[in-house]
C-alpha cells in the first residue's frame, strides 16, 4: 500500500482523514519530529497543496529548498522526491492540512481554469502565506464534508496557487532562502499585531530599510508590507474561527488601528465582510472562486 502524500517512514507522523472525493483527499498531518532529526528522502504519491498551520521545517524538492512556517503553502508533484528536516525548528513538531489531487484531477482543474496545455506540475516548491487559501482550507474544516464543498474549494485553491505562481510570488530557490530575510519574516510573524516600523524589522535583519525591501522580496516572494498584511489577516481569520470576540476587537488584536481599514482589507482578500465569513462558517464561495 502506498504511503500518504507526505508519509515519513521514520519520524512520528500521524494522518487524520478529513474528507475524500473522486481523486481528492483532505487530511490533517501531525508531525512530532524532534529538532535536528535526520531528513529522509521520500516521494510524493500525488499532487499536493499543504497549508502549514503550526511549526517550522525545511522542505527540499527538485524545484528548490525553502524554510516553511505557519501560513506557508508547500507544493508537491506526483512522483517527485522530497525531504523535510527540522534542524532549525523548536522541537515541538508541526501541524499541516494536506489537499492531494490525482494527476488526472489536477489536469482537469487546470483545464477548467483555462490553463490546459501548460506545465502539468508545480514549478516551485512553496508559496508565501495567502490568507484566501488559508480561508478555503479552514472553510473545509467547518463544512463537515457536505455537498460539493471539497471539489469547489479544491478548484479555488488550485486557481489561487496558479495565480500566485503567475504573479511571481515564489521565493528564491536558495539553499535556505536568505538568513536575513528569514530573520525579518520571523520578526513580522511574531510581532504582526504591533505597530511595527520597517526600521525595527531591518535592524533585526541587520540591513538598512531599503536593502531589506530588495532582499526580502527576492527571498520570500512578496514585499515586507504584503507579508505583514497577510500575517494580520491570517491572525484575524484564526480569531474569527476560534473565538467569539467582536469584529472590532479582532481588528485591534490583529494589528489594525482603524476598523474601516481592516474591513476594506478583509473584503478585498476574502470577497466578504468578517461578519459574513463568521456567520457562514466558511469563506463566501462565489467571490473566492472568481479569483
- What domains can be seen in the chain, in order of their start residue? 13-166 (2.60.120.280), 179-290 (1.10.10.60)
286 pLDDT above the threshold of 50: no
Q: How confident is the model at residue 138 (pLDDT cuts 50, 70, 90)?
A: confident
Q: Report the 10 Å Cβ neighbour count for 235.
A: 19
> pLDDT higher for 60 or 10?
60
pLDDT, tens digit, for every residue of 79-128? Answer: 999 998 887 767 778 999 999 999 999 999 999 998 766 667 898 999 99
8 Å CB contact between 221 and 185: no
| 287, 152 contact by CB (below 8 A) | no
* Res 92: pLDDT: 78
- Which of 103-117, 163-177, 233-247 has the highest average model confidence (pLDDT)? 233-247
Q: Hey, is 74 helix, strand or coil?
A: strand
Nearest CA-CA partner of 253 in 279, 231, 223, 276: 231
Helix (H, G, I), strand (E, B) or coil at 52: strand
At what angle are helices 149-166 and 103-112 packed, to 10 degrees? 70
**Pair 75, 106: CB distance under 8 Å:** no
Section 219-246 average pLDDT: 94
* Contact by Cβ (8 Å): 248, 261: no
Q: Strand, helix or coil at 68?
A: strand
Please say if the pLDDT value at position 11 is more than 60. Answer: no
Judged by phi (left if over 0) then psi (alpha if -120 to 50, else beta), residue 168 lies in left
Q: What's the pLDDT tens digit per position in 40-86?
A: 789 999 999 999 999 988 899 988 888 899 999 999 999 999 998 88
Confidence of residue 255 (pLDDT cuts 50, 70, 90): very high
Tens of pLDDT, residues 14-44:
889 999 999 999 999 998 877 767 777 899 9
Residues 6+ apart with CB under 8 A from 41: 81, 82, 83
pLDDT of residue 9: 47
What SS3 class is residue 255?
coil
Predicted local confidence at residue 114, as pLDDT: 86
The pLDDT value recorded for residue 248 is 96
Identify the residue with better confidence: 5 or 13: 13
* Res 284 pLDDT > 70: no
- As a whole number, mean pLDDT of residues 173-184 equals 75
Q: In this predicted structure, what is the pLDDT of residue 239?
A: 94
pLDDT for 182-204, tens place per residue? Answer: 999 999 999 999 999 999 999 99
Write the CA distances from 105 to 19, 24, 47, integer angstroms. Answer: 16, 8, 9
pLDDT value of position 139? 82
Joined together, the cell numbers standing for residue 271 give 470577497
Q: What per-residue confidence (pLDDT) applies to 7?
A: 46
Q: Is 103 helix (H, G, I), strand (E, B) or coil?
A: helix
Amino acid at each position: 500500500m502506498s504511503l500518504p502524500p507526505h508519509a515519513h517512514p521514520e519520524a512520528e507522523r500521524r494522518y487524520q482523514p478529513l474528507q475524500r472525493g473522486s481523486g481528492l483527499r483532505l487530511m490533517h498531518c501531525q508531525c512530532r519530529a524532534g529538532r535536528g532529526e535526520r531528513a529522509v528522502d521520500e516521494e510524493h504519491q500525488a499532487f499536493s497543496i499543504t497549508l502549514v498551520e503550526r511549526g517550522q521545517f525545511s522542505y527540499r524538492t527538485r524545484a528548490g529548498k525553502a524554510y516553511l512556517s505557519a501560513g506557508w503553502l508547500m507544493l508537491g508533484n506526483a512522483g517527485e522526491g522530497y525531504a523535510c528536516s527540522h534542524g532549525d525548528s523548536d522541537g515541538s513538531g508541526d501541524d499541516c492540512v494536506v489537499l492531494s489531487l490525482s494527476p488526472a484531477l489536477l489536469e482537469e482543474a487546470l483545464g477548467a481554469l483555462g490553463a490546459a496545455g501548460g506545465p502539468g506540475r508545480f514549478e516551485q516548491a512553496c508559496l508565501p502565506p495567502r490568507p484566501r487559501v488559508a480561508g478555503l482550507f479552514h472553510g473545509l474544516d467547518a463544512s463537515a464534508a457536505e455537498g460539493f464543498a471539497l471539489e469547489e474549494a479544491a478548484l479555488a485553491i488550485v486557481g489561487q496557487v496558479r495565480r500566485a505562481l503567475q504573479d511571481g510570488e515564489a521565493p528564491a530557490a536558495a539553499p535556505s532562502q536568505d538568513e536575513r530575510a528569514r530573520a525579518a519574516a520571523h520578526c513580522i510573524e511574531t510581532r504582526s499585531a504591533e505597530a511595527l516600523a520597517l526600521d525595527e524589522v531591518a535592524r533585526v535583519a541587520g540591513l538598512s530599510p531599503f536593502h531589506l525591501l530588495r532582499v526580502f522580496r527576492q527571498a520570500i516572494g512578496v514585499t515586507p508590507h504584503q507579508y505583514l498584511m497577510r500575517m494580520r489577516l491570517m491572525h484575524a481569520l484564526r480569531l474569527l474561527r476560534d473565538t467569539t470576540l467582536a469584529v472590532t476587537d479582532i481588528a485591534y488584536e490583529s494589528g489594525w488601528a482603524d476598523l474601516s481599514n481592516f474591513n476594506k482589507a478583509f473584503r478585498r482578500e476574502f470577497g466578504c465582510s468578517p461578519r459574513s465569513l463568521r456567520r457562514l462558517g466558511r469563506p463566501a464561495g462565489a467571490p473566492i472562486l472568481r479569483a
